[in-house]
Amino acid sequence: MPSTILVVEDEPAIQELVAVNLTFAGHKALRAATVDQASTLIRAELPDLILLDWMLPGSSGIHFAKKLRNDERTKDIPIIMLTARSNESDKVEGLEAGADDYITKPFSPKELIARIKAVLRRRAPQLTDDVVELGGLRLDPATHRLSGAHTDGVMRALDIGPTEFRLLHFFMTHPERVYSRAQLLDQVWGDHVFLEERTVDVHIRRLRHSLTPTGHEYLVETVRGSGYRFSVAAQKLAAAPASAA
């Protein structure tokens, strides 16, 4: 899936090279040459991943990484450090500052894209095109197809809207965890989109309706006072009526 990636790099040639290759790979590239510029962009739109140079004018990438990890809004954004510093101690310092990966310059664009995909698969699987199979459902982000195993075991295609598809994709890549309406809005719609929290309830009902033909609506649970959860454990209670949104 296309991701928004912030490139924080003060060398114009490298910034251009990285941004062009990200665009070719289907991502949206945001560019910043300083920490201040990066902070401004992040306030406007939360990126899915940050490529962060170590040596930046004004404030270092290491300092910025620590700041991002200590901020509730940005603490979960994957960070890949890009730097010419190749000593083992430098790599350790970068990882301890909060980086998820560390790439030394010079690097090949092909390796960079592969590292980005690996980090996203580990930290944000809902942003990848990997097929997800869970609880009798099969979701394919690349083809935007959803199917479910009916009671006879035969897989049946299910009709689902684009927003419900993204919501289900997030649930299936983060099963058994409870998410509040506000968290779901941030994760599925984006934190720069301002919607009423009840919007989530509407799409939960639509999602359950889409899963009803194969009897999988019960997988999306309402946790009173907390939010919603996708639970395969709910299969044990499949005979019980689904909770209302």
Mean pLDDT (whole number) for 140-163: 89
The CATH number of the domain holding residue 139 is 1.10.10.10
In this structure, the answer to whether residues 10 and 116 fall within a common structural domain is yes
In this structure, the answer to whether residues 175 and 106 fall within a common structural domain is no
Domain membership flag for residue 245: no
Two structure tokens written together for 64: 């910025």
pLDDT of 235: 57
In this structure, the answer to whether residues 107 and 171 fall within a common structural domain is no
Domain membership flag for residue 243: no
In this structure, the answer to whether residues 69 and 175 fall within a common structural domain is no
The CATH number of the domain holding residue 14 is 3.40.50.2300
- Residue-wise pLDDT tens digits, 21-66: 999 988 899 999 999 999 999 988 888 899 999 889 888 899 999 9
In this structure, the answer to whether residues 31 and 80 fall within a common structural domain is yes
Left if phi > 0, otherwise alpha if psi is -120 to 50, otherwise beta: which for 139? beta
Neighbours of 117 (CB within 10 A): 16
Q: To the nearest whole number, what is the mean pLDDT of the chain?
A: 87
CA distance 74 to 42: 9
From the list 109, 156, 152, 155, the residue with the least C-alpha distance to 14 is 109
Least-confidence region, from 83-92, 104-113, 214-223:
83-92
* Verdict on whether the full-model pTM lies above 0.75: no
pLDDT of 1: 58
Last residue in a domain, options 103, 127, 151:
127
Q: How many domains does the chain have?
A: 2
- Residue-wise pLDDT tens digits, 166-219: 999 999 988 888 999 988 888 888 766 677 888 999 999 999 999 999 999 999
Strands (E) across the chain are located at 4-8, 28-32, 49-53, 79-83, 101-104, 132-134, 137-140, 145-149, 155-158, 220-223, 227-230
Last residue in a domain, options 99, 127, 155:
127
Domain membership flag for residue 14: yes
Structural domain including 203 reads 132-237
In this structure, the answer to whether residues 188 and 94 fall within a common structural domain is no
Domain membership flag for residue 45: yes
pLDDT of 90: 80
Those residues whose C-beta lies under 8 Å from the C-beta of residue 8, and which sit 6 or more positions away, are 32, 33, 34, 35, 37, 38, 50, 51, 52, 53, 56, 61, 64
In this structure, the answer to whether residues 185 and 163 fall within a common structural domain is yes
Question: For residues 230 and 217, is the Cβ–Cβ distance under 8 A?
Answer: no
In this structure, the answer to whether residues 115 and 206 fall within a common structural domain is no
Domain membership flag for residue 244: no
Backbone phi and psi for residue 199, each to the nearest 5 degrees, phi listed first: -60, -35
**Residue that is written with structure tokens 């490529």 in the block:** 51
Those residues whose C-beta lies under 8 Å from the C-beta of residue 140, and which sit 6 or more positions away, are 131, 146
